[in-house]
Structures are given as C-alpha cells and as structure tokens.
Amino acid sequence: MGANATERHLEASNEKAANSGEPNTHASIHDETIGHGNTPAAWTCVLIMIVGAGISSVGYIIASVLWFVIGLAVMGAGLIVGWAMKKAGYGVNGSKLKNSGH
C-alpha cells in the first residue's frame, strides 16, 4: 500500500527542507499539542449535551414540543457547565490539572 497523506506531507516537507538547505524543524504533524477535548470540562460538557440531544430526539419522534424544548435546555446547561468547569480550572491548561497528565 502507498503512504498515507501525513507521510506524503512529511516527505514533501523533508524534500523541500533538503533542497533549501534549511533544517526541517517540524518532524511530525502530531508533535504539537493542540490541547482541545481531553479535559474533564470538555468531556462533561459533551456528555451532558449528548443526553440533551437524546432527549430532544425522543421529543421530536413522539411529537412532544415539551420534551424537545427540555432537551434543548439540557444542551444549553451542558454548555454552561463546561464553561463553568473551564473557569474553575478543569479546562485546557487549567490550574486543577497541573501535573496530572492532562
């Protein structure tokens, strides 16, 4: 099988650096830590919003405006909880996550 897109990108980058005489300073596309998604705040936010989407889906299927709106409210609560947890230090680079491997 052929090389995947990342490997082709790296090979092209290495060739370009070799031809220009400059060192390749970026060895892999995955070297940099972007820092999104792997925090308690993000996981809690997403979990609550998934539950809200499920409630809204059931409300839509049974044609209940009340349950549909309740689901939307739960999704909104998920956003608020995620934001509050981030402000409390459980988000990316949060004070509660220092030296915990996150």
User: What is the tens place of the pLDDT at every residue in 28-59?
Assistant: 555 556 566 788 999 999 999 999 999 999 99
Q: What is the pLDDT of residues 54-79, one digit of tens each?
A: 999 999 999 999 999 999 999 999 99
Stretch 18-34: mean pLDDT, rounded? Answer: 57
Does the pLDDT at position 10 exceed 50? yes
Residues 6+ apart with CB under 8 A from 66: 59
User: What is residue 14's predicted lDDT score, i.e. its pLDDT?
Assistant: 58
pTM to 2 decimals?
A: 0.62
For the chain, first and last CA: distance in Å?
A: 35
Q: CA 18, CA 22: separation in Å to the nearest integer?
A: 7
Quickly list DSSP for 8-25.
Answer: HHHHHHHHHHHHHT----
Q: How far apart are CA 42 and CA 50, in angstroms?
A: 12
